[in-house]
Structure 1
Amino acid sequence: LFAAIPALIAYNRYTSTAESLISNYENFMDEFSIVLHREVHKK
Structure 2
Amino acid sequence: MTNTVAAWMAGLILLGCGADMVLNDGQVLFFLALKLVDLMEWMAFWR
Measured against the shorter chain, the TM-score band is 0.5 to 0.7
Which 4+ stretches in 1 moved above 2 angstroms? Answer: none
Matched, 1:19 2:37: yes
Report how many aligned residue pairs link the two structures: 27
Structure with the greater alpha carbon radius of gyration: 1
Name the aligned partner's letter for residue 17 of structure 1: K
Q: Which residue of 2 aligns with 1:32?
A: none
The secondary structure found in structure 2 opposite 1:10 is helix
Q: Which residue of 2 aligns with 1:9?
A: 27
When the two structures are superposed, what TM-score results if normalisation uses the length of structure 2?
0.49
- Residue identity over aligned pairs, in percent, reads 4
Runs of 5+ consecutive residues of structure 2 not aligned to the other structure = 1-20
